[in-house]
Structure 1
């Protein structure tokens, strides 16, 4: 979309329109009506100046073409310029006729005072412009404004867009915030409860916008033939380097020079044949590099073509530049000596680094056979496998760099040890019949697993069965949740008896806080003495 800059005069007219909109929301007084009359006169003077300027721009285009080597080649430019003038003149003339009708609704001009006879007239203005059932002239204006903008954009440079000339209250920065105005359409907003001078000033403002749009397109056409005066008013220093990345010990080479652009001239620029945006006279090239064809050093030689088209004193001219660049094959390292085996259903944390990409390293991960969870820091990833193997897909900037496949092993079973009164119970040594009052069964994680996956190495015995036996006869029993008191058994215990201890359940809590039951069976017989 083209960017159309406003001149100070155009900004002033826009500000006057905002003031006009605000004044319409106020109670109208004689003094205020006089201000509207003055405002309308100022707008009409500005519009006359714009009309003369635009007429001069068309004449300047025609004169410039006569001096070019091949005038016939620019016939289309002259045709478009005249069509722009015709469209604007036709719409402005129609608006002049509407202003005359509004003036007549106010009784015309008093020959003695030179003022409008009945400036406060609102009803006749409403009937003319809004009408019953939306039959007024303002609704016809909406379609005319819309068609004018469409026709003008066809004559302008590709991508040029003009704002609507018939905004309703919702699109107006002031009226949209007023509850009494917010739901009004274009006609009601501008011409309902509107006295004669205010209605005339509103139409004059629209004429100013029409002339501004006309001026913008004529300026574009003038630039095509060099009729628009070009001043290189933006001078800056520029550095052109052979390479932005060098290896330590290599020479860095660059050229420093002065460059200049013009804020009043926008050349056409392209990249590989496609047009590119131009900001402050400088084309903006941005594209995602592609790999392939890497040499033994991991480099791939690439080229692109840029062109600049502008109007020279001898006519249109295009400069073409072919630029060479190199693409470095992206590499990465998984920060571990060897690819580790991962544990099923656990948080396996890895760090993936790419020294070659430096600040451009911003990887994303996905996994086949599991889940890949990106960390807060770049390159950190947590893999949660759900299959016998898991493949980690490593991408950077949407480009897949590689795949790494890991073996998946099951979580090693914990070792369960049984303690009584704080000390570990031994089947050979036994325990005191009267002194053993509590039992604690502990599920202890494998040391290797615990060191690599501490968040998943949380085991506990969930069910513990203890029976007091005398010979082949069971005296009593109790079931505990991993640990607890066996005082009721100890009260019946005698030397020569034994405790039969069976582990019936073990559980593990993973890094997400989820608890799973692990099939586990173990029994001990502890003799009592």
Structure 2
């Protein structure tokens, strides 16, 4: 039963290879590995009459039939799932609507289609091996006679992200307790437990195709003594596909940075999960690590490029535009309230002035620690007609009672702003050039 299904999958893989133009002259690679349309026609079909339609029923029926030989209560996961049943695909609205054929073979190049069919073969052998173990436990391993012994590798996933672990099980598909295999992977021995060895390594990226996928291969060896005591070694090969990991700034767009300010960003990579532990460097600026993808960028020039590195692998470089800090708005307050410069105030009631520097709203929202302004010096002139009657100097604000005693309706206060400062995220204070700022307040 198992061999029949595995052979059917092997025949289907041969048809997929033909859809890709067949094998090259050296019979090691497919001539047109990027072919997607012919794979879709073969497996999905123009009217959903492709070979993946009956394949779904065949795979799932195999699971149902196999469970009849297993211990009571044994359940195996279906081998062919629609998008709504797949725990990963059902997170996406578009993928959730697809059936098994569309999900796995629509817009799928030849190597990916072959990898999926190979994975199904491995899963079938793994299911069969689990049932054989149950049978062996019931009747005794010596009573089970196997005429064929072959090695298999069953991967948890044939597509991984660079920098994440690749994990698979390597085993003899028809083992018995009389056989104690020795296994190695890439030349190094691996522990064997219950006839199986788990191999795990960090997937290396590089040589990605236009879709960000890199094909990789691995080799394992299984050595054992047959019934006659003769040593035999099985070589097991497999392939997997490494997906190029991606990251993004949490805001979704590359925001502008402000010169010499603390620009806080958060780089995220859902694909890497807990393995996402980036570090940063910058040309045209300084980086201050915050942990977990958070970083503060302090640009020192009008252009700044941030390099993103994760576990020693350079993930990419992101150029940022750098803006000058916008000048603050100078606003006059009288007796603690904003002054309408067109309407003015009563000459007899205005007794105190406070001149404030108000940060640009966008700048304050993104860089609150750098948006702390203070007016340091103003000269308040009492002007009547075209003549200056008197003046006082204030440190940004204070009492003007001395001028108010002489003020009359029709006069005006002409305020010259002489100094303004900004404190940055480090507590450093710098002068702000606001130009020749003059505020005129009519007196009623």
TM-score, with normalisation over the residues of structure 2?
0.53
Q: How does 1:148-187 map to 2 (within 5 A)?
A: none
Instruction: Identify which of 346, 361, 371 aligns with 2:286.
Output: 371
Instruction: Identify which of 378, 399, 416 aligns with 1:502.
Output: 416
Matched residues, number:
288
Q: Does 1:437 align with 2:355?
A: no
Contact 1:276-1:285 within 8 A present in 2 as well: no
Q: For 1:283 and 1:245, locate their aligned partners in 2 and report how far apart those are by CA, in whole Å.
A: 27
Q: Does 1:383 align with 2:383?
A: no
Contact 1:346-1:456 within 8 A present in 2 as well: yes
Partner of 1:119: none
Q: For 1:401 and 1:276, locate their aligned partners in 2 and report how far apart those are by CA, in whole Å.
A: 32
Q: For 1:246 and 1:524, locate their aligned partners in 2 and report how far apart those are by CA, in whole Å.
A: 63
Greater C-alpha Rg: 1
- Partner secondary structure for residue 519 of structure 1: coil
Partner of 1:466: 380
Q: Does 1:331 align with 2:246?
A: yes
Q: CA deviation at 1:300?
A: 1.7
Cα RMSD after superposing both structures: 4.1
Q: For 2:357 and 2:441, locate their aligned partners in 1 and report how far apart those are by CA, in whole Å.
A: 19
Contact 1:266-1:278 within 8 A present in 2 as well: no
Question: Larger strand proportion, structure 1 or 2?
Answer: 2
Q: Structure 2: any 5+ residue segments left out of the alignment?
A: 1-73, 81-85, 91-98, 105-118, 134-170
Q: For 2:189 and 2:406, locate their aligned partners in 1 and report how far apart those are by CA, in whole Å.
A: 94
Q: For 1:520 and 1:266, locate their aligned partners in 2 and report how far apart those are by CA, in whole Å.
A: 83
Contact 2:246-2:271 within 8 A present in 1 as well: yes
Q: Does 1:451 align with 2:365?
A: yes
Partner of 1:303: 217
Q: Deviations over 1:461-520 (max 9, x none)?
A: 22223244566456342322x221122333344556543322122222334444333122
Partner of 1:344: 259
Instruction: Identify which of 469, 475, 489 aligns with 2:403.
Output: 489
Q: CA deviation at 1:362?
A: 4.1
Quick one: structure 1 residues 354 and 428, their matched pair in 2 at CA, closer, same or farther if it must change by over 3 Å?
A: closer
Question: Larger helix proportion, structure 1 or 2?
Answer: 1
Partner of 2:191: 278
Partner of 1:401: 315
Q: CA deviation at 1:405?
A: 0.7
Q: Deviations over 1:190-242 (max 9, x none)?
A: xxxxxxxxxxxxxxxxxxxxxxxxxxxxxxxxxxxxxxxxxxxxxxx9x9999
Q: How does 1:51-450 map to 2 (within 5 A)?
A: 247=89, 249-250=99-100, 253=120, 254=123, 255-256=126-127, 257=130, 258=133, 269-273=183-187, 275-276=188-189, 278=191, 285-309=199-223, 314=229, 317-336=232-251, 338-358=253-273, 360-375=275-290, 378-425=292-339, 429-450=343-364
TM-score, with normalisation over the residues of structure 1?
0.46
Q: For 1:511 and 1:371, locate their aligned partners in 2 and report how far apart those are by CA, in whole Å.
A: 14
Q: CA deviation at 1:438?
A: 0.3
Q: CA deviation at 1:327?
A: 0.8
Quick one: structure 1 residues 403 and 477, their matched pair in 2 at CA, closer, same or farther if it must change by over 3 Å?
A: same
